[in-house]
Amino acid sequence: MVNEQFISYLWKNQLFNHQNLLTSTGDKVSVIHPGIENSNAGADFQQAKIRINELDWIGTVELHINASDWIQHAHQKDPSYENVILHVVWNDDLKIKYQNGTSIPSLCLSTQVNPETLAAYEINKSVIRTQLPCGSMFESVDFDVKEKMLAQCLRERQAKKVSQIQQLLLSTHGDWEETFYQSLARSFGFSVNADPMFRLAQSMPLKLILRYRDRNNGIEAALFGLAGMLEEDMRDEYQWELRREFIHLKKKHDWPNSYLNHSDWKFLRMRPPNFPTVRIAQFAELIRSNCSLISLLLEMQDLKTIKTLFETPLNDYWQQHYHFGKKGNGSHSVLGKSAFESICINTLIPMLICYSTYKSESKYEEKALRWMREIRAENNFVTRIFNEYGLKMRHSGDSQGCIQWYHQYCLLKKCASCEVGNELMERKPA
């Protein structure tokens, strides 16, 4: 039976006929990149790249069994769905439009899928998807072999993170401070709001934001204003205060009303301490309190000392609120341990390794690796899979290696490229 999980499976793995692919209105469609699967609020796939006729579009993709489910789910009332560039359906039973009345491109998959694909999907569903390809044999392999694979995968994963920083460094014309600032912003968005946080930092360069360090609420007003969070109905006096300051800055710098929209930010299925409003306030205070973060990162040796930079208390308003006009219990006023460790893994440590490579000074990479060994192993579904097979995580280096191992080897069945896979395949029959 066809359900949205099956359609998601088809789209994610591109298991349909791509020849003569047309929208419901006859426009030619090419899938350049299907996007990143989204388990939070908003469209099903983010950052997709679709070519319609000769024009490339970057945005979100929404999946439904019936096109009319768009109305059933009230997406026509949600501004975040205005970013949908393709509506992928099984039954194209209704023409769906954007809020301005233009039609949303629709792709019907029911005519593009081989019936055998559905049968294979039903079979695959009955298999435990989290099982490692080598199954119970994994535990029989010596730890030295697994440790070698963990080290290899950790290097690969770090190289990918470092490569992203290198690309960002090129875009900032070699400005390490600006590169670190934008990378930190992305980390403060974590997985759910990383993209809008990154775009927000790009809209407000560090050199400009530091000009308002000593101006009361200047940095907050700029960031919340450009984030699109001062355009909605004002909920209290503090929001009005920020809005008045933003109007002044907007006129001075000839900014648009906002760079982002409130609908770009995800709040649903999130605990209040993780709300983007709290993260923006924390990020603003971190920047305001420390004028040269990259220098501090390079100079400080102790991870605990670095952590104090991220523990600067928020102002009185954000100690009592998690959103404009909504009070909390104050537990969100300081960045939590898990959040800090995530920022270390995804920004601080890759930044040190990248800097070490550029300057040919190994001491920074050595410090980064030491910090990684000091940080707790992450607890997620991938690490739990390896734990079930007897591989215990000692620190974050192990958990990062496991994530790379699982996604780039196990899921892709690249056993011949895996140290454990090779060890098992080279064994002689008893």
Predicted pLDDT of residue 192: 87
Single pTM value for the model: 0.74
How many Å apart are CA 294 and CA 176, to the nearest integer?
7
| pLDDT confidence tier of residue 127, bands split at 50, 70 and 90 | very low
Cβ atoms within 10 Å of 54's Cβ, excluding its own: 7
Which of 29-33, 191-195, 200-204 is predicted least confidently? 191-195
Strand partners, 88: 63, 107
Strand partners, 146: none
Predicted pLDDT of residue 89: 96
The better pLDDT of the pair 275, 270 is held by 275
What the block records as the tokens of 342 is 């995530």
pLDDT digits (tens, 9 = 90+) for 381-405: 899 899 989 999 999 999 999 999 9
Q: HSE-up of 245 (CA within 13 Å, CB side)?
A: 19
Predicted pLDDT of residue 123: 55
Predicted pLDDT of residue 1: 65
Determine which helix (DSSP H) or strand (DSSP E) holds 256, and give its type and residue range.
none
Predicted pLDDT of residue 235: 87
Average pLDDT, the chain: 90
The better pLDDT of the pair 397, 264 is held by 397
Average pLDDT over residues 64-75: 92
Predicted pLDDT of residue 122: 64
Amino acid at 301: Q
Cβ atoms within 10 Å of 283's Cβ, excluding its own: 25
Which of 42-51, 115-124, 150-159, 186-195 is predicted least confidently? 115-124
| pLDDT confidence tier of residue 128, bands split at 50, 70 and 90 | very low
How many Å apart are CA 260 and CA 222, to the nearest integer?
12
Residue 126 has pLDDT above 50, yes or no: no
| pLDDT confidence tier of residue 74, bands split at 50, 70 and 90 | confident
Predicted pLDDT of residue 365: 97
Predicted pLDDT of residue 330: 66
Q: Tokens 């734990």 map to which residue?
A: 387
Which of 214, 265, 224 minimizes the C-alpha distance to 244? 224
Which of 313, 311, 371 minimizes the C-alpha distance to 336? 311
How many Å apart are CA 393 and CA 386, to the nearest integer?
8
Q: For the chain, give every domain's residue range.
A: 4-115, 135-143+377-425, 172-335
